[in-house]
Amino acid sequence: MGTVDTLLREYAHRGEELDLAAGGRVDWADAGGWPADRQVSAATIRGLLCDAAQLDPRGVRLRGACLVGTLDLEGISTGFILVLRDCDLPGGVIARDAVATAVSLPGCRVSRPVLAKRLLASVLALPGATVVGDHPEGALDLGGARLGMLNCERATVTNRLGPAINGDSLRVERTVWLKELRATGSGMNGAVFLLGRTRPA
């Protein structure tokens, strides 16, 4: 795993995407058994983003990886860009109180909640992603977040203990994209709870 992490650092400093699937299709049936050369420490990504000023402005870009550990972005305030495409995130995401330019997880599989209360970001994008997170505050918890744009098109979000998406006091300045969203939640607030200022597309 150390070699892959070192490679990711090199690509991030050049602003290039590290594609561990080599342009091929990602086979989720084999994701649990992906070899070591497809595994990246989530702590490495946090370390890079905490020092985002030293990275290329295009940020950290990664495809076809399995992240080891929880992706912890909590409190990072560097205005970072993070793009993970077709990645497996079995440990979920914590992004409370982070300040980002963009957090983009297209086509990712997230097996625990995305907890992003008070996230401040120009873009939060999960098109085609799958989020399965049993949490009373939401599988995708955006309570109090301030976003420029939210894209959940073609995403699948499931929560047996609360809402699929919790947008209590969420503010989205431009557009919310929810086309073909499949959301399954429980509780009095329904599957998608948006109580704030949003502009659906």
Side chain identity, residue 129? A
The H or E element that residue 175 is part of is: strand 165-177
Q: What is the mean pLDDT of residues 197-201?
A: 58
User: What gap in Å lies between CA 64 and CA 86, rounded to an integer?
Assistant: 5
Model confidence pLDDT, tens digit, residues 146-179: 999 999 999 999 999 999 999 999 999 999 999 9
Yes or no: say if 127 and 106 are a contact pair by the CB < 8 Å rule.
Answer: yes
| Tokens at 79, concatenated | 């205005």
User: What gap in Å lies between CA 73 and CA 59, rounded to an integer?
Assistant: 14
Read off the pLDDT band of 34 (50, 70, 90): confident
What ranges do the domains of the chain cover?
A: 69-197
Beta strands in 56-119 (DSSP E): 60-63, 66-68, 71-72, 80-85, 88-89, 93-94, 99-104, 109-110, 114-115
Q: What is the mean pLDDT of residues 32-59?
A: 90
| Tokens at 69, concatenated | 């550990």
pLDDT at 200: 56
Model confidence pLDDT, tens digit, residues 104-144: 999 999 999 999 999 999 999 999 999 999 999 999 999 99
